[in-house]
Structure 1
Amino acid sequence: MSADLTKLAKLLQELDDQMVACMKCGMCQAVCPVFSETMRESDVTRGKIALLERLAAEMINDAEGVQEALNRCLLCGSCGANCPSGVQISDIFIKARNIVNEYMGLSPVKKAILRGMVGNPKLFNMLLDFGSKFQNLMTAKASDAQGTRRAPLLEPFIGNRHFNPVATKSLHAKYGTIDTPAGKSGLRVLFFPGCVADKMYTNMGEACLKVFKHHGVGVWMPSTQACCGIPALSAGDKTAYDKMVKYNAEIFAEGEYDYIVAPCGSCISTIMKYWPKYGKEYPADVQAKIEKIAAKAMDINEFLVDVLGVKPEGDAPKGGKKVTFHDSCHLKKGLGVAEQPRDLIRLNKNYELVEMNEADRCCGCGGTFTLYHYDLSKQIGGRKRNNIVDTGAQIVSTGCPACMMQMNDMLSQNRDEVEVKHSIELYAETL
């Protein structure tokens, strides 16, 4: 054990203070995607909080069991959005994961990935840029509709998942640092593409750049920016998370811009909410930088509609190719952005927007959740897949790259001829 007992005691007290408002009413049961599949009380928020109330004793008795129970959560925020007491449940679970990792120590694999690779942007970029050239040697084509591949030789380690390949040339490798002045809009943004748009869905990243150029928005995109830190924070690795946040804060503080814009609700939610919340122990000058940065963070759909005033006029188009929209958890439940991406889709006269059942229900990805609980992730994702297919849509759109990965996997495995696109890609087609 590598625990600092004084630090652990402080964290446990903070956790107790946050849990006081939970009334054990069970309203979380109705909206928890994991509970709906397993029907286990330990998988719903109320059950986990009951565990956390005796966390110190439970860690001593069965630390690995506690860790497993906490990891069986998507951190989708559905329970918090439905909580009548307004308990910040995702924050509680993130803090609890951090406590367990402080007590047990981080596994060598997680430490290598989060601290050694993702937390080191130069090495991370180099490894993926190099690996992209050889990935086809280990993979086989899975689906043309979703552009997915599979890795039969790696199934014992990653399951039979279908995944999109790493881009042959990442966004940062193709463009380097972008630094353009404000145009007709009078605005300039720091463009934060996020890891997935930079390294996998580069078409989506380029669609964002196309949109900025069309509307006369100046762009600063530092090629050296790192991950926002949400994978490490969700995994309970505060050390790796702190490293990424401080690294980015130093870079972002150097530029002049009106907004930080990203095509990923998870990235923006992290910068806007988690950076200030979990940075209170940072030096005062770093905290000041983070507060200033967080105040400028905004999702790209929200930026276009609410700031630039890009909105459809007249009736929604009918008779085009059908597209349905999936509300990602962090975008709708975390940021309150739901109508803006739909407005952008309606601007494309070639598409007819049709709503799916349970549009805002979690797709089952949950970041690292799908890595550790893939079978359960597939069960939840299967429900999302069924709702998509039932609309008869040829395209499903969303505002989250992680959700895109999950839906590509589910649709590809079922041989569905449904494309997965970001809302910005559909809007960019009109320009």
Structure 2
Amino acid sequence: MESSNRNLKNEINEKLNDQVLRGALGRFAEAYPIARAKAYENVDDVEALREQFRQLKIQTVNNIEAVADQFETAVTKRGGKVFRAKDGDALKQYLLDLCKKANVKRIVKSKSMASEEIHLNHALEEAGLHVKETDLGEWIISLAGHKPSHMVMPAIHLNKEQIAEYFSKELQQEIPTDIPFMVQAARKALRTEFLQADMGISGANFGIAENGAIGLVTNEGNARLVTTLPRVHVVIIGYEKLIPTIQDAAPILRMLPRNATGQRMTSYMTMTTGQVPVMIKQDGKWVEQPKELHVILLDNGRLKAAKDPKFKEIYNCVRCASCLNVCPVYTIVGGHVYGHIYAGGIGAILTAFLHSMGDFDKINELCIGCRKCVTICPGKMNIPGLIEELRAQNVRENGLPFGVKAVVENVLANRKVFHTLLRLASIGQKPFQSGKLIRHLPLFLAGMAKDRSLPAVADVPFRDRVHKVTRQIASPKKRVAFFSGCNIDFIFPETGESVYKVLQDLDMEVVFPEDQSCCGKPVLGMGDRETAKRIARKNIEAFEQTNADVYLAACPTCTETWHETYLELFEDDAEWKPRVEKLAHKFREFSQFIAEEYQKSGRLNKGAGGVKVTYHDSCHMKRGLNIYEEPRQLLDAAQGYDFVEMKDCDKCCGMAGAFGVKYTELSMPILKQKVQNIKDSGAEVIAVGCPACMMQIQGGLDKQLPNVKIKHVADILAENIKNK
């Protein structure tokens, strides 16, 4: 595992230094959201369309065997043959036998990720067959000897100069870097391949059970030639591509082009079914001959996923790759760092089922958990949630690495030990500390503080300050139990003081359960749910004793963990489930709760302007808790501030817990983008609602934009109270 991690790090660094790749991905990441939004302008209700597709997929996967049977019957009725391949080896053997029987020597292919998944081309070429990719992107990477770096645009990592070089070598002539000329040269070179081919192999965007038809959505037209000219047509289709009726193709055709390439529709929409006659040349004459159609239904782990109550959700994937197009990690390093064929978060999940859990284990941490993919996926797949589920499954079966396990069980799960170590860290950091930050570290740790400063552990944690900031409220409107979380308790205790000040200004009694500890999210992120339960039980017991009207956190990650994850952890526990529900249903996030209270008391009127302030939406806040408007309402009402929006306000800052430390080389480019957007906004203050984001952005600002200050929303509200 250590060796594979080093290999991954090497691959990441190589891609980070590939300026062609970085430039191409950067330009595409900028252009894609605009193009997609424009393509959806004429769709009245995008969410309704997504839900229609999701329901279609749910119903289909719940009856996948019956749908597959109907599809096979329809294909057979129309003269085709269906083979159900258990895995890649079975598929390759069937094809090799077919090629031998049909005297196939030359094969043309239209892009099929399933064939890439099982390394089909290599097996065919080893058998002495001439195989030619005919999709322009696939042909380019075959010339380059590369794997696809994207599901829809496999050659996105190359520029026109590189492609012209590959073309010149293949075509044995000087090819200029003129794109239309290169396209025409490719067409001319491939035309002979189509005419001479004995077999055409295509994938399918969907297969229709009621009539046995397959649908192909393309922009080049080569798929039509592959499926019609050769005398043998082979379709490779995964079970997840099956749909019951032709009407079910409508939501796919409406969303796939829009999500994949930002088009309302592609250049070619092809449906083909059954045997059709084909013209072949015999003894110098063209004669008509029935065309052979073979449809291979590929399992390779798909049926196992279909039977799993949680992982059957992967059938919702339409292979549009929109999740890659908005992924902060993918858009920096591309697809090759993921090792296998499928990239991004969805790639990690598919790799687990279609390849191996060992390969999943190598790449799953590259999912930053920002959930941008969830908001854009046509099938509403919870990609980060499924990755966490796979991690948990992996830990149940194999356990955590010894060193990690020791830390989790003996430190994070033991409040007294954990907090004692944090107090010791506040002393041990002194030689490297400058104010509230650590700007430089020695030796092998130096890289961690190269482009960002690190937060220093507070000399006096919030739990030791509570008694100084607690006021007695004569007739409290509500009793609030405050969950500080690790960051506010030990890194930003002043923000905890601000929370108290704001709540007490609203005539609320605030209590701080001393036995509270980490919410358990870091442990959950590793997949260790049993230890997370131990932590959760202690927190639940501590808060039950408060008898509060409201349980509140100023950290969206902690809020979501209490609000949703604790419920999931104890959903099958008869004793703890009702106890969790009682607390979780009253657990609130600070800015949303305060906005409601300010609304009641008439405090949400626009405040007098002043210092420009912008706001960063944390991933857990906006896409986890769906809290977006409330922090802006509070900032807009704050006296002495003038609120302005910044570009990509909801794009991840690159922290993501342990990710920001373990993968500093990836975290930093994401952070730099965020800092640049803050600079471009002209704001003098960046407001946040998440202490983890506060740590990350504060560190970047200190090194790159020191004149801009970062403040939690609670700190800004507390300033207004102080100035009264």
| TM exceeding 0.5 | yes
CA distance, structure 2, for counterparts of residue 154 and residue 176 of structure 1: 41
> 1:384: how far off?
0.5
> 1:238: how far off?
1.5
CA contact under 8 A between 1:311 and 1:344: conserved in structure 2?
no
CA contact under 8 A between 2:367 and 2:384: conserved in structure 1?
no
CA distance, structure 1, for counterparts of residue 403 and residue 710 of structure 2: 31
Partner deviation per Cα, 1:159-196 (whole Å, 9 max, x = no partner): 63511111101011233699988755521111001110
Is structure 2 residue 490 aligned with structure 1 residue 199? yes
CA distance, structure 2, for counterparts of residue 291 and residue 395 of structure 1: 38
- SS in structure 2 at match of 1:133: helix
CA contact under 8 A between 2:489 and 2:496: conserved in structure 1?
yes
> 1:417: how far off?
1.6
Partner deviation per Cα, 1:57-113 (whole Å, 9 max, x = no partner): 513xxx2x4212111011111111222322222220111111223333212332233
Query: What's 2:382 paired with?
Result: 88
Structure-2 change in CA distance of 1:159 and 1:235 (3 Å): farther
- SS in structure 2 at match of 1:218: strand
Partner deviation per Cα, 1:336-389 (whole Å, 9 max, x = no partner): 111211222223221111111000011111111112211001111111010011
- SS in structure 2 at match of 1:430: helix
- SS in structure 1 at match of 2:323: helix
Is structure 2 residue 424 aligned with structure 1 residue 130? yes
CA contact under 8 A between 1:177 and 1:220: conserved in structure 2?
no
Is structure 2 residue 638 aligned with structure 1 residue 348? yes
Segment drifting more, 262-271 vs 23-32: 23-32
CA distance, structure 2, for counterparts of residue 140 and residue 90 of structure 1: 35
CA distance, structure 1, for counterparts of residue 445 and residue 571 of structure 2: 42
CA distance, structure 2, for counterparts of residue 203 and residue 270 of structure 1: 23
Query: What's 1:5 paired with?
Result: none
Q: 1:67 aligns with which of 354, 361, 373?
A: 361
Structure-2 change in CA distance of 1:304 and 1:183 (3 Å): farther
What letter corresponds to residue 241 of structure 1 in structure 2?
A: A
Q: 1:261 aligns with which of 541, 545, 552?
A: 552
Structure-2 change in CA distance of 1:218 and 1:67 (3 Å): same
Query: What's 1:40 paired with?
Result: 335
Is structure 2 residue 356 aligned with structure 1 residue 58? yes
- SS in structure 2 at match of 1:190: strand
Query: What's 2:623 paired with?
Result: 333
Query: What's 1:285 paired with?
Result: 575
Is structure 2 residue 594 aligned with structure 1 residue 304? yes
TM-score, normalised to structure 2's length? 0.54
CA distance, structure 2, for counterparts of residue 157 and residue 110 of structure 1: 22
Q: CA RMSD in A?
A: 2.6
- SS in structure 2 at match of 1:53: helix
What letter corresponds to residue 455 of structure 2 in structure 1?
A: N
- SS in structure 2 at match of 1:219: strand
1:142-161 map, 5 Å: 147-153=437-443, 155=445, 158=448, 160=450, 161=452
CA contact under 8 A between 1:177 and 1:221: conserved in structure 2?
no
What letter corresponds to residue 121 of structure 1 in structure 2?
A: R
> 1:21: how far off?
2.6
Larger radius of gyration between Structure 1 and Structure 2: 2
Is structure 2 residue 678 aligned with structure 1 residue 388? yes
Structure-2 change in CA distance of 1:177 and 1:83 (3 Å): farther
Is structure 2 residue 411 aligned with structure 1 residue 117? yes
Query: What's 1:78 paired with?
Result: 372
CA contact under 8 A between 1:398 and 1:404: conserved in structure 2?
yes
> 1:20: how far off?
3.2
Segment drifting more, 101-110 vs 115-124: 101-110
Partner deviation per Cα, 1:206-246 (whole Å, 9 max, x = no partner): 00011111111111211110111111111212122111111
Partner deviation per Cα, 1:132-183 (whole Å, 9 max, x = no partner): 123212x143xx7x74533224526846351111110101123369998875
> 1:126: how far off?
1.4
- SS in structure 1 at match of 2:312: helix
- Please list every run of 5 or more consecutive structure 1 residues that lacks an aligned counterpart in the other structure: 2-8
Is structure 2 residue 704 aligned with structure 1 residue 406? no
CA distance, structure 1, for counterparts of residue 614 and residue 713 of structure 2: 10
Structure-2 change in CA distance of 1:176 and 1:113 (3 Å): farther
**Consecutive aligned runs of 4 or more in structure 1 exceeding 4 Å deviation:** 156-159, 176-185, 310-316
CA distance, structure 2, for counterparts of residue 173 and residue 212 of structure 1: 19
What letter corresponds to residue 202 of structure 1 in structure 2?
A: P
TM-score, normalised to structure 1's length? 0.88
Structure-2 change in CA distance of 1:418 and 1:147 (3 Å): farther
Q: 1:212 aligns with which of 493, 503, 507?
A: 503
What letter corresponds to residue 332 of structure 2 in structure 1?
A: E
1:157-168 map, 5 Å: 158=448, 160=450, 161-168=452-459
Q: Identity across aligned pairs (percent)? A: 29
- Please list every run of 5 or more consecutive structure 2 residues that lacks an aligned counterpart in the other structure: 2-303
Segment drifting more, 245-254 vs 262-271: 245-254
What letter corresponds to residue 645 of structure 2 in structure 1?
A: E
CA contact under 8 A between 1:312 and 1:343: conserved in structure 2?
no
CA distance, structure 2, for counterparts of residue 111 and residue 157 of structure 1: 26
Segment drifting more, 257-266 vs 340-349: 340-349
CA contact under 8 A between 2:614 and 2:686: conserved in structure 1?
yes
Query: What's 1:361 paired with?
Result: 651
* Number of positions where the alignment pairs a residue of Structure 1 with one of Structure 2: 412
What letter corresponds to residue 169 of structure 1 in structure 2?
A: V
Partner deviation per Cα, 1:388-426 (whole Å, 9 max, x = no partner): 111121211110000011101212222532111101100
CA distance, structure 2, for counterparts of residue 412 and residue 67 of structure 1: 35
CA distance, structure 1, for counterparts of residue 370 and residue 621 of structure 2: 10
Structure 1 or 2: more strand by fraction = 2
Structure-2 change in CA distance of 1:178 and 1:280 (3 Å): farther
> 1:323: how far off?
1.2
CA distance, structure 2, for counterparts of residue 109 and residue 177 of structure 1: 39
What letter corresponds to residue 350 of structure 1 in structure 2?
A: G
Select the structure with the greater relative contact order (CA < 8 A; seq sep ≥ 6).
1
CA contact under 8 A between 1:78 and 1:333: conserved in structure 2?
yes
Partner deviation per Cα, 1:235-292 (whole Å, 9 max, x = no partner): 212122111111111222222112111110010011101110122243x121111111
Structure-2 change in CA distance of 1:177 and 1:249 (3 Å): farther
Segment drifting more, 387-396 vs 171-180: 171-180
Is structure 2 residue 519 aligned with structure 1 residue 228? yes
Is structure 2 residue 311 aligned with structure 1 residue 16? yes
CA contact under 8 A between 1:148 and 1:162: conserved in structure 2?
yes
